[in-house]
Amino acid sequence: MTRWTPDPTFYPSPSSAAQAPSEAHAYVALLAPGGNGQRDGIGVVDTAVDSPTFGRLVGRLDFPQGGNELHHFGWNACSSHLCPYAPHAHAERRYLVVPGTHSSRIHIVDTKPDPRAPALVKVIEGEEVMRKTGYAAPHTVHCGPDAIYLNALGAPDGNGPGGIFTLDHETFAVEGRWEKDRGPQELSYDFFWHLGHDTMITSEWGTPNMVTNGVDPELLLAGKYGHALHVWNLRTRRHEQTIDLGADQQMVLELRPAHDPRSAHGFVGVVLSLTDLSSSIFVWFLDREARGGKGEWKARKVITISAEPADPALLPPVLQPFGAVPPLVTDINLSVDDKWLYVSCWGTGELRRYDVSDPFNPVFTGSVRIGGIVHRTAHPGTPDTPRNGAPQMVEVSRDGRRVYVTNSLYSPWDAQFYPDGICGWMVKLDTTDDGGIALDPNFMVEFEDGIRPHQVRLAGGDASSDSFCFS
């Protein structure tokens, strides 16, 4: 893993990342829900536009088991290793760290020497993760300058608290819990940081017992799912502040901080409002003048996306009493230049694009539809085939020209909101400088045998897998 010079896919600044060569491959988490005889794994999709196999699945690595519920995997190393204090500046962006939320296993995948034929080189069993960390249900991976960071939804008994633990960059040894003082934090979900401000932000979903059987209506209507952000000192590992968005704002999920290390703001998506079934986007920011100049982190709602009325007969049982389809914003992504925000509406089947040059006043610039609980909108390449599922995981290329989307969220949620079963697909969208966005009619990857695609990682890095220390 050690190099004499830094990995060329480590970028010293967001602008240099945007100018890097285009991705040739995309790695996709492939979920085999338990009981169908299939195995989970990683798929390789050809994304080189001049390739004869463009837009096709060209490789697949099967894991030993199915039912792991693979989620937000990431690289072992990234641009954060160029930080002056990074002890691993000569590591290599080579290995994918793939957590299984239901099994608590972590799979380590080598993408070299042949990027189309990744190899499984290590499996960290769930028992080891739980024994060494006191956590279970790992969900998200981010490479930091000093370690590989993972979040976990809760404890081995399925309750809280959830939190963060780390792996060694080189050996992948489980190092233990990250927090030294968690304060009032109990629920866990995503995490990310502002390296230039020594600050980590974490969000909230629910413990394993709250989510593994799908959305619990009683917990939801009682406002028991996550509705806050937490602010941490990245160096001391201590909780510093809670930002409560309100108990009506249920399930505060994906975090996307600004890439510019001088900036102190980011965006977070909220799945559901108990008031009107809408979804929303909040911006968090550092108010430097607050508390007599000491500064205070705050959050403000900047985007609201309304539910859409629908015939109850067309809705799954969980939504029939409401007579409407909620947007269900379950993923967002921010372009490397911090100008464009993409928002997945997994309920209505829409991917929305916003100009967030002014993060406090986003401007809606365009959208596309595919799938959706009611609409079942077709792909332009196969106009006679209705699609189910909807835009869910969204990944943006370094230059911001291409957006990749998959349609499966989480097996228990898939079963609740798409009870006829998710037919897995991955699509690509192309963007324009004026805010436009359109589906590529020549890129539609369909997955067979009940396999469902989730997280996407692009070879060489992407908009959500890198942190930068310089601007």
196-245 confidence digits (pLDDT tens): 999 999 999 999 999 999 999 999 999 999 999 999 999 999 999 999 99
Contacts of 366 by beta carbon, 8 Å cutoff, 6+ apart? 352, 353, 435, 436, 437
pLDDT, position 3: 56
pLDDT, position 308: 98
DSSP 425: E
Contacts of 284 by beta carbon, 8 Å cutoff, 6+ apart? 201, 229, 243, 265, 266, 267, 268, 297, 298, 299
Yes or no: say if 177 and 154 are a contact pair by the CB < 8 Å rule. no
Domain ranges for the chain: 125-458
pLDDT, position 319: 97
DSSP 197: G
Cα–Cα distances in angstroms (integers) from residue 471 to residues 12, 22, 142, 314, 336, in the given order: 8, 21, 20, 49, 11
Q: Bridge partners of 108?
A: 97, 122
b/e code 109-134 from CB counts within 10 Å (16+ = b): bbbeeebeebebeebbebeebbeebe
What tokens does 109 get?
A: 């995948």
Yes or no: say if 208 and 188 are a contact pair by the CB < 8 Å rule. no
Can you count the helices (H) and strands (E) in the chain? 6, 30
Tokens 């809760």 correspond to what residue? 154
pLDDT, position 4: 66
What tokens does 431 get?
A: 């963007």
pLDDT, position 17: 95
pLDDT, position 231: 98
> Which residue positions in the chain have pLDDT lower than 70?
1-4, 34-35
Q: Which CATH architecture has domain 125-458?
A: 6 Propeller (2.120)
